[in-house]
Amino acid sequence: MSALRPSPIAPTVDFERDGVQHGFLRLPYSRDDSAWGSVMIPVCVVRNGKGSTALLTGGNHGDEYEGPLALYELARTLDPRNVSGTVIIVPAMNYPAFRAGTRTSPIDKGNMNRSFPGRPDGTVTEKIADYFQRELLPRADIVFDFHSGGKTLDFVPFCAAHTLPDKAQEKKAFAAVEAFSAPFSMRMTEIDAVGMYDTAAEEMGKVFVTTELGGGGTSRAETVRIARRGILNVLRHAGIVDGAVEKGRTQWLDMPSGDCFAFAEDDGMIETMVDLGEPVENGQVVARIHPVGRTGQAPQEIRARMSGLLAARHFPGLVKAGDCVSVLAVAVQE
Contacts with Zn ion, residue ranges (CB under 5 A)? 61, 64, 147
Shortest Cβ distance from residue 151 to Zn ion (Å)? 11
Shortest Cβ distance from residue 22 to Zn ion (Å)? 25
* CB nearer Zn ion, residue 46 or residue 312: 312
Q: CB-based contacts of 289: which residues, under 8 Å, 6+ apart?
A: 264, 266, 267, 268, 269, 270, 271, 299, 300, 302, 319, 325
48, 18 contact by CB (below 8 A): yes
* CB nearer Zn ion, residue 111 or residue 250: 111
Cis amide linkage into residue 316, ω under 30° from 0: no
Among the listed residues 106, 116, 74, the one whose alpha carbon sits nearest the alpha carbon of residue 234: 74
186, 139 contact by CB (below 8 A): no
Q: Provide the 8-state DSSP code for 298.
A: P
Shortest Cβ distance from residue 63 to Zn ion (Å)? 8
142, 54 contact by CB (below 8 A): yes
251, 76 contact by CB (below 8 A): no
* CB nearer Zn ion, residue 57 or residue 250: 57
* CB nearer Zn ion, residue 61 or residue 162: 61
* CB nearer Zn ion, residue 152 or residue 284: 152
